[in-house]
Amino acid sequence: MTEFSSFSLRVDPAHARIDVPRQITVDGLNPGETVTIAAVTLRAGTPWQSTASFVADAQGHIDLTRDAPIAGDYAGVSPMGLIWSQSLLDPKVGNGRVLFNDDMFAGLDTTLTATRQSGSTATASLHQQLATDGVTRREVREEGLVGTLFLPAGPGPHPAVVIVNGSGGGINEPRAALYASQGYAAFALGYFKAPGLSDYISNTPLEYFETALNWVHRTLKPLHGFVALSGQSRGGELVLLLGSMFSELVSAVIGYVPGAVVHGAQSACDPATGRDGPAWLYRGEIVPHVWQNNRTATWAALNEVDADGVSRRHAEAVSTALNDPDAVARARIRVENIRGPVMLLSGTDDAAWPSSRYSRMVRERLAEVQHPYPVGYVDVDGAGHSILFPYVPTTQLSFPHPVSGRISTSGGTPANNAHADEASWAAVQKFLDDAVAARR
């Protein structure tokens, strides 16, 4: 078969923010020719890879915004399918949960290689940036706080977002860097498993977050006094709780796969107090949680594992606690006290805990009290617990918990989780834009 000399692979734009979709095209092919494209990305020094094969049209052209692969690691039309369908090249090497480099300014570089049936190849590069030009970073170790502050380019003032992690702990620099790249003063706040802090979520004093909110208002002097909270999983529970308790300091709340009730320490517990012990304290007292004096709660479902030894029943175990209405009433987060808009993001196949049900509970309560602010809601059918932001791998469904070490699944499928990443981030951007505009 004769080959055209103009065989080429192109990415447009080649260099952009991580949440920007790209157009990947191949030209100079024979009509009907099959080409396989491989995408390899180094993530914290560990290679991830995906492949997919495509058939050229009558003009010898392939366009991933239009064409579905005939074989490979994803199906259907998905312009960035080669990114979200990546998996560890060697599953025995590296940590499958580490998707980003330590340096938020380094970005992620992907090498794309298109291989023709003859064996000839064409290459292109795709660069995804978290912290864009002009964003600055500084570590915060003030007033007992442990976190990282990312500021956007320009003099400000900027609206602010405080970001907290879930039961894995640590400091969520990737999300903060991306918020800053969108124009927000973004404070990634650690509260356990961070330098100088406890290794566990158990007995975390909520005054710590009150201090952080006051620090943000006083130090950053945000535009229009706007300070949003953003958290996922236990962080999603936490931001709803903080918004209800410190409402005068919180302008908006974004809960990724949140809880509607206060939970105990669970998988992130200090072994000395156990998973049924408290996560949150306020003024030295335990914040009532759903596992306290619960007549129906049981962890028995966690003992059920699949053929690979993976527990897939954490959500089922957590749901047993919701069958005691008195315990739920005691532990319910008083979301009606929040003085601002609320955004809830969840998936119907969340295997970690019932975030879809929890989001519905929050919505129903806010509707019942006729909450005077907008309430956003994205509940993605078939998506799981790990909802991040667009164009990162979604293939790692089972992993050891960062604290307990127990292997479990987050649920969903790679394709549904990738859709949730896109849909949630689009909704959050609009939510924040509208919330800031409403403060003018």
Catalytic residues, by residue number, are: 233, 350, 385
Backbone angle region of 326, left / alpha / beta, with phi > 0 → left and psi within -120 to 50 → alpha: alpha
Q: How far apart are CA 43 and CA 350, in angstroms?
A: 26
Q: How far apart are CA 144 and CA 131, in angstroms?
A: 26
Nearest Cα neighbor of 149 from 130, 176, 170 is 176
Name the residue type at position 433: D
Name the residue type at position 226: F
Q: How far apart are CA 222 and CA 250, in angstroms?
A: 12
Bridge partners of 25? 10, 63
Question: Across the chain, which distance is largest between two alpha carbons, in Å?
Answer: 78
CB 79 within 8 A of CB 11: no
Q: Please report, for residues 3, 90, 144, 235, 251, the alpha-carbon distance to residue 162 in angstroms, rounded to integers and kept in the order given.
A: 55, 36, 16, 11, 11
CB 399 within 8 A of CB 97: yes
